[in-house]
Amino acid sequence: AQSVTQPDIHITVSEGASLELRCNYSYGATPYLFWYVQSPGQGLQLLLKYFSGDTLVQGIKGFEAEFKRSQSSFNLRKPSVHWSDAAEYFCAAKGGAQKLVFGQGTRLTINP
């Protein structure tokens, strides 16, 4: 079955430190891949997406993600986090149909 896994439920980093959030997918073929962010009490906002081509994708708010086919991964990174980055982050994938399948989410806490 198609699935997306985010191994880390909760991550805490210090402000100014680098960040990497992990995402693995299980699909028959390479799906379209997405990262969304959800601030408390809000809906989901698209950070970035990967369809094909360059495996390093740039997104909004200074985030980037790298697609690695050999590892079935699409990890999200940011060189230096800000307190405003505290939120929940969701990795998602879409195969042939329009359905998005989401990971369980990773909650990010920023220490001052």
Partner 1 sequence: DVKVTQSSRYLVKRTGEKVFLECVQDMDHENMFWYRQDPGLGLRLIYFSYDVKMKEKGDIPEGYSVSREKKERFSLILESASTNQTSMYLCASTSDRAYGYTFGSGTRLTVV
Which residues form the interface with partner 1 (CB under 8 A)?
Answer: 6, 9, 32, 34, 36, 41-46, 49, 51, 90, 92, 94, 98-105
Nearer to partner 1, 80 or 109 (CB): 109
Nearer to partner 1, 15 or 30 (CB): 30
Residue 9 beta carbon to partner 1: minimum distance, rounded to whole angstroms: 7
Nearer to partner 1, 18 or 39 (CB): 39
Phi, psi of 70 (to 5 degrees): -65, -25
Among the listed residues 79, 91, 109, 87, the one whose alpha carbon sits nearest the alpha carbon of residue 14: 109
Distance set, CA 13 to CA 4, 6, 48 (Å): 23, 17, 21
The span from the CA of 62 to the CA of 40, in Å, is 20
Residue 50 beta carbon to partner 1: minimum distance, rounded to whole angstroms: 10
Nearer to partner 1, 10 or 17 (CB): 10
The span from the CA of 72 to the CA of 59, in Å, is 20
Residue 16 beta carbon to partner 1: minimum distance, rounded to whole angstroms: 28
